[in-house]
């Protein structure tokens, strides 16, 4: 359907023309796999376009956003504190619920202190932008999330991208750098598109040897990896080599918001120097209480993680038995690599036809030749749903002629 403004004459404002040309290009692609409107959701079932479908792309890995204790905590917080955090904490004050979550998260992650923000994106920007400055050197895995790149860019430091999850390439870059430079190393615990676990022991050790301040975004590792779901550093039994842990509350903790956890002095520096922390409204009462209750459930009910991993193994085996390429994913975030948009689009469409909701991701969002369907498994998927997903995958494989 043509948008009405495409028929209007070109605008006199060049910036609006640029937006219009960009949109016109996208419309010509004749597919619309993004910004769907979902009419209803209950667990891993959604309703889209009047049809019941299975959600196979949610980051709610443990399904805690539907856990009765989590929902109840959100409702109680709303009644007690109202809907809004009313402003930035630097000016309007922290609330007891912020402190409670921060202390709990810091203890869970084995850090002295923690600060929560209204989004994971903001936390990741803050964790990078606030600590590096012009003249510093930042080494970043080339597949980092865009929030980290934004923070890195804001810092004005010089950037060195190293090959994805590749210690040899990082070593080379570090050895070629000035020993006198102040350095930061930025990594992700689990790379969300690829499902790869960071080669943290080797990478963090290199960082340590070259006196890097190391930032680890564990948005997709928290709740999934490590003893009790403590994340990627815990998975490898590492602690001190990572100076900052940051991430999101919107994945395994079933809420929204983000966190930065580190030593007390680092968090104090963040609170007094980070623009994202000082000038943005706080995490809301309900979202804070939801994350806090989810953290309790994560610690008290290990069955959700057990179910997540059982589902992950079964699903991954099924994809491999169909000959599908999962890019070596080791986690519940499992891509199906199809290699071109000409294959990815009909595959995505075939799954949708069979009632399976997934996300298509094509170049330049992924490297050329890695066009893929992003899927994510959840503890909420039932055995029957996994069967239905298997049938849909077999159908898509046949339809695309793989």
Where does this chain bind ligand PMP (CB under 6 A)? Answer: 119-121, 124, 145, 147, 188, 192, 217, 219-220, 248, 250, 258
Residue nearer to ligand PMP on the CB measure, 138 or 174: 138
Instruction: Give CA torsion, residues 159, 331, 319, 64, to 10 deg.
Output: -120
Residue nearer to ligand PMP on the CB measure, 44 or 248: 248
Residue nearer to ligand PMP on the CB measure, 338 or 376: 376
Residue nearer to ligand PMP on the CB measure, 333 or 396: 333
> For residue 243, what are the CA distances in angstroms to 125, 184, 229, 246, 266?
15, 10, 19, 10, 9
Query: Which residue's CB comes closest to ligand PMP?
Result: 120
In this structure, what are the phi and psi dihedrals at residue 388, rounded to the nearest 5 degrees? -65, -40
Residue nearer to ligand PMP on the CB measure, 292 or 385: 292
Residue nearer to ligand PMP on the CB measure, 102 or 350: 102
Nearest by Cα to 63 from 85, 44, 38: 44
For residue 147, the minimal CB distance to ligand PMP (Å) is 5
Q: What token pair was written down for 181?
A: 């430079």
Nearest by Cα to 270 from 220, 213, 219: 213
For residue 248, the minimal CB distance to ligand PMP (Å) is 3
Residue nearer to ligand PMP on the CB measure, 150 or 296: 150
Chain centroid to CA 386: 23
For residue 279, the minimal CB distance to ligand PMP (Å) is 17
Nearest by Cα to 242 from 282, 280, 212: 212
For residue 398, the minimal CB distance to ligand PMP (Å) is 32
CB distance 397 to 322 below 8 Å:
yes
Q: Give the number of other CB atoms < 10 A from CB of residue 85.
A: 23
In this structure, what are the phi and psi dihedrals at residue 367, rounded to the nearest 5 degrees? -60, 150
For residue 342, the minimal CB distance to ligand PMP (Å) is 27
Map residue 142 onto helix, strand or coil: coil
For residue 350, the minimal CB distance to ligand PMP (Å) is 26
Nearest by Cα to 54 from 399, 320, 304, 386: 386
For residue 87, the minimal CB distance to ligand PMP (Å) is 20
């Amino acid at each position: 359907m043509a948008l009405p403004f495409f028929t209007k004459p070109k605008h006199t404002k060049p910036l609006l023309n640029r937006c219009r040309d960009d949109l016109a290009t996208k419309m010509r692609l004749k597919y619309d796999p993004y910004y769907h409107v979902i009419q209803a959701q209950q667990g891993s079932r959604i309703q889209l376009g009047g049809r019941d479908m299975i959600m196979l792309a949610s980051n709610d890995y443990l399904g805690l956003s539907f856990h009765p204790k989590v929902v109840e905590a959100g409702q109680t917080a709303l009644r007690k504190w109202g809907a809004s955090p009313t402003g930035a904490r630097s000016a309007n004050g922290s609330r007891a619920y912020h402190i409670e979550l921060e202390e709990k998260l810091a203890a869970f992650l084995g850090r002295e202190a923690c600060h929560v923000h209204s989004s994971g994106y903001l936390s990741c920007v803050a964790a990078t932008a606030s600590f590096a400055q012009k003249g510093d050197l930042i080494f970043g895995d080339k597949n980092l999330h865009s929030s980290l790149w934004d923070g890195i860019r804001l810092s004005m430091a010089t950037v060195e991208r190293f090959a994805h999850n590749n210690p040899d390439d990082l070593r080379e870059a570090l050895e070629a750098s000035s020993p006198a430079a102040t350095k930061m190393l930025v990594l992700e615990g689990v790379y969300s598109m690829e499902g790869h676990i960071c080669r943290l022991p080797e990478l963090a050790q290199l960082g340590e040897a070259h006196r890097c301040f190391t930032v680890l975004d564990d948005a997709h590792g928290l709740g999934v990896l490590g003893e009790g779901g403590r994340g990627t550093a815990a998975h490898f039994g590492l602690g001190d080599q990572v100076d900052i842990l940051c991430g999101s509350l919107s994945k395994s903790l079933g809420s929204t918001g983000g966190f930065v956890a580190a030593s007390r002095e680092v968090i104090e520096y963040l609170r007094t120097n980070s623009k994202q922390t000082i000038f943005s409204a706080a995490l809301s009462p309900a979202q804070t209480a939801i994350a806090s209750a989810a953290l309790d459930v994560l610690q008290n009910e290990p069955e959700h993680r057990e179910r997540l991993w059982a589902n992950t193994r079964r699903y991954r085996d099924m994809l491999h038995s169909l000959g599908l390429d999962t890019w070596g994913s080791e986690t519940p975030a499992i891509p199906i690599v199809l290699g071109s948009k000409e294959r990815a689009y009909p595959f995505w469409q075939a799954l949708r036809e069979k009632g399976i909701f997934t996300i298509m991701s094509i170049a330049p969002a992924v490297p050329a030749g890695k066009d893929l369907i992003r899927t994510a498994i959840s503890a909420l998927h039932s055995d029957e749903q996994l069967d239905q997903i298997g049938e849909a995958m077999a159908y898509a494989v046949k339809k695309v002629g793989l």
